[in-house]
Structure 1
Amino acid sequence: MTEPDFDIDAFLARPLTAHVATSGPTVRPTWYLWEDEALWILTGPWTKLLGRVKADPAVAVAIGVCDIATGEVRQVIARGKAEVLPFDVPRGRRKLSRYLGADETRWDERFRRYLHDDPAERGTVWLRLRPSSLTATDLSYQV
């Protein structure tokens, strides 16, 4: 990994949208959790993503921000092989609360189900990417 232009951990702690690329190529937006030097993405059999990763675990994930009001233009690109791991509720709660807020009663029912349904029955799993390559670029400008 090259020396980043900014604090990667602080950047990835923000509730930004990541774009996951799999073989095909296929690119799809997703929410993520940056934890333990890995990207965690919630998925299951209701998406094509899980099948694509099982067929070929090589992925690239791009996370970026472009704010013309402040001039902030930053990106992080992670590459590596994704692993399929069992879903755990505490990590799921941490991930979803980043995007939806701490008050679960205000969440749409489909998000609450991830925390209360049986993950084995529903097929909910984590894709974990411990990047073999992580690039951070700051292209910000003054407004």
Structure 2
Amino acid sequence: MLEPRATRPYMPGYGTLPADEGTGLLPWSWALDRLRSSHDFWLSTVWPDGRPHLMPVWAVWHDEALWFSSGLHARKIHNLRANPVVSLATDDPLNPVIVEGAAKVVSDTVSLQAFLRAVNEKYGTGYDADLTDPARHATVRVRPRWAFGLDEADFAGSPTRWEFR
């Protein structure tokens, strides 16, 4: 994957500094470290009537995307089938990374096996193929359209937005 394009996001009223002041733009590697190490993620979907739906999920960064699984009939799965645009945020509110992208339920065997290995490695679990059985569970891949991060130690000088092509 090519390095995403980094810019300073427009944050009126927050006193953010120009991109070349303060910490400056954060490198994508800073965001990747947090996406790989976050234990929990906050997943935001939208109900068909427009109400927000927010739930914690376990997720892994794999193959240039965030992946998670859920019961096939869970509200979040119903929501993303109706509107696949979702946001996921890491569990550290002081140094957050937020990803927005389109969610896709994945069902090919090779991808499901790779996701299962990644989950078991990251979380120290011993889940078997039942976790990725498409008859009972949805395995979801979210490829970022954009991501946002900031380092609390330099709130005004670190906000960075990464855009993916």
TM normalised by structure 1 equals 0.74
What secondary structure is seen at the aligned counterpart in 2 of 1:120? coil
Q: Relative to structure 1, is the Cα distance of residues 96 and 140 closer, same or farther in structure 2, using a 3 angstrom cutoff?
A: farther
Residue identity (%) = 24
Contact 1:15–1:98 (CA<8 Å) still a contact in 2? no
1:90 CA displacement: 3.2
Q: Structure 1 unaligned runs (5+)?
A: 67-72, 105-111
- Consecutive aligned runs of 4 or more in structure 1 exceeding 2 Å deviation: 1-6
Contact 1:83–1:129 (CA<8 Å) still a contact in 2? yes
CA distance in 1, matches of 2:63, 2:113: 16
Indicate the residue corresponding to 2:135 in structure 1.
121
Query: Which of 29, 34, 44 lines up with 2:61 in the alignment?
Result: 34
Give the number of aligned pairs: 123
Q: Deviations over 1:79-112 (max 9, x none)?
A: 121111116133213113312x26x3xxxxxxx3
Query: Which residues in structure 2 correspond to 1:1-143 (within 5 Å)?
Result: 1-2=5-6, 5=26, 7-23=30-46, 24-66=51-93, 73-86=94-107, 88-99=112-123, 101=124, 104=126, 112=127, 115-117=128-130, 119-122=133-136, 124-140=137-153
CA distance in 2, matches of 1:13, 1:50: 23
CA distance in 2, matches of 1:82, 1:54: 8
What secondary structure is seen at the aligned counterpart in 2 of 1:16? coil
TM normalised by structure 2 equals 0.65
Q: Structure 2 unaligned runs (5+)?
A: 8-24, 155-165
